[in-house]
Amino acid sequence: NFLRFLIDSISSVSLSLVGVFISCIIYGPIDFYRRDSYKNKGINSLLEKLENFFGSVSLAIQNWSYNRGYIDYLYEIFFVRGTLLLSKLTSLLEGWIIDGIINGTGTSTLLGGEGARLGEGGRISSYLFGLMIGITPLLTVFAFPASQEFLFQDITYTSMK
């Protein structure tokens, strides 16, 4: 049973050791590229190239790690600024359209009431005249079938003839 445990844990332990080794190379004080110990110029130039390459890679990894993988920056752009933009758009929509409808309804009710108050003079003949103006078009449309055909004909059909 213990042998099975060792076999199963080899991959995870070796992966963690590789991570520790990479961390020691990037952050550790140990200089893995000691050029003074090699007398051959070819090895020194190769080690210098490796040191330049790994130095730039380790600097990029250090910056990425120091900035936590730029998660805060991406969170700021996508979530915080996106939410602020959505809230500003919602505020404009609510302020101009929804409040405009409510305020327009209130203003039209006020003006309609004032107009009705000024229009009422107490004369029954003026009330009957307004009633006749409203009823006459309705009677014309519904009482005479010929007027319905004239009013509701298809305009595109007659223009194609």
pLDDT greater than 70 at residue 159: no
User: In the predicted model, is pLDDT for residue 103 greater than 70?
Assistant: yes
Q: Which two tokens stand for residue 158?
A: 């007659």
Within this chain, do residues 56 and 90 fall inside the same structural domain, yes or no? no
Cα gap 112→89, rounded to integer Å: 33
Binned at pLDDT 50, 70 and 90, residue 34 comes out as low
Residues 103 and 155 occupy one common structural domain: no
Which pLDDT belongs to residue 67?
Answer: 81
Residue 34 region by backbone torsions, left for phi larger than 0, else alpha for psi between -120 and 50, else beta: beta
For residue 32, pLDDT beyond 60:
no
What single DSSP character describes residue 37?
A: T
Q: Are residues 6 and 60 in the same domain?
A: yes
Statement to judge: residues 71 and 23 lie in one domain: no
Whether pLDDT at 135 is above 60? yes
Please count the structural domains in the chain: 3
By the 8 A CB rule, do 141 and 148 touch? yes
- Indicate if 61 and 72 belong to the same structural domain: no
Q: Taking 80 as the threshold, does the pLDDT of residue 160 lie above it?
A: no
Domain limits at 15?
Answer: 2-66
| pLDDT above 70 (res 161) | no
Region 37-64: mean pLDDT is 69
